[in-house]
Homo-oligomer: A and B are copies of this chain.
Amino acid sequence: MHQLLSDEQRAQLATIASLVSFKKGAVIYRSGDFADAIFNVVSGVVKCRSGEDGDHIVAFLFPGDVFGLSAEGRYVSSAATVTPVTAYRLPVSALRRQLSADPQLAYSLICKLCQELRQSARHALLLARRRADSKIAAFLQELERLQHASNDASGDIHVPMDRTEIADYAGMSLEAVSRTFAKLSERGIIAQRTRRHVKIINRADFERIAAGEVA
């Protein structure tokens, strides 16, 4: 359920899919590039920036996510890595061929896309919040949910992206992100073991803030 492909399907596609890896900060493709493949994240985190407005991050992609969708043969966004990344690379021509032959694969892909669509709706919800602490709390909630499966018992939330990237994702200024983390820490809502490891201390207030209530 996590990966795009079931094990059997992966075996089936083994001949056309290749495992590629990128180091941190690498650009995977740029908006407008000829779109010859789609990707399925295996490990690491990818950020996807809007094609038009290059400074907004449309999505963070985690293991299992699909990216590289195109319109008229061109990528509509650019993708770069946030951490070192490994991913399956599926050439579209081969994928398309496989899709006609294997309805089950098509169905899996449809489910995956619906998932992405739901994730996108959650992002919209986050962006629509009007208070900075609501955005950041919602953001942390999202990270926590995504890591829930692979979570170490400590309850720590790992924040793989830097403040600028969070700002670009949440539609706020870099300084506001920084201040908001500080404020949530001061108020005892969260604790920051390091900048990249956050723990929720006061769950009740945290949820309230994330939900947009005053708290």
Pick the contact of A100: B103, B127, B171 (CB < 8 A): B103
User: How many Å lie between the Cα of A5 and that of B205 in the bound state?
Assistant: 48
How often does this chain occur in the complex, in copies? Answer: 2
User: How many Å lie between the Cα of A53 and that of B129 in the bound state?
Assistant: 10
A186 within 8 A of B: no
Contact with B along A106-127 (1 / 0, CB 8 A): 1101100111111011011101
The answer to whether residues A53 and B127 also contact, given A118-B69, A118-B76, A120-B120 and a CB cut-off of 8 A, is: no
Pick the contact of A125: B50, B107, B113, B129 (CB < 8 A): B50
Pick the contact of A127: B99, B110, B128 (CB < 8 A): B128
Question: Closest B-chain residue to A70, C-beta based?
Answer: B114
Contact with B along A42-72 (1 / 0, CB 8 A): 0000000010110010110000000001110
User: How many Å lie between the Cα of A129 and that of B129 in the bound state?
Assistant: 12
Asked if A125 and B56 sit within 8 Å, CB to CB, the answer is yes
Which residue numbers of A lie inside 8 Å of B, CB to CB? 50, 52-53, 56, 58-59, 69-71, 76-77, 96, 99-101, 103-104, 106-107, 109-110, 113-118, 120-121, 123-125, 127-130, 171-172, 211-212
7 A-B contact pairs sorted by A residue (CB < 8 Å): A58-B125, A71-B118, A76-B121, A99-B106, A116-B117, A127-B127, A130-B171
- For the complex with contacts A50-B124, A100-B104, A124-B127, 11 further pairs of A-B residues with Cβ separation under 8 Å are A52-B125, A56-B128, A69-B117, A71-B114, A76-B121, A99-B106, A100-B103, A113-B117, A116-B117, A117-B120, A127-B127
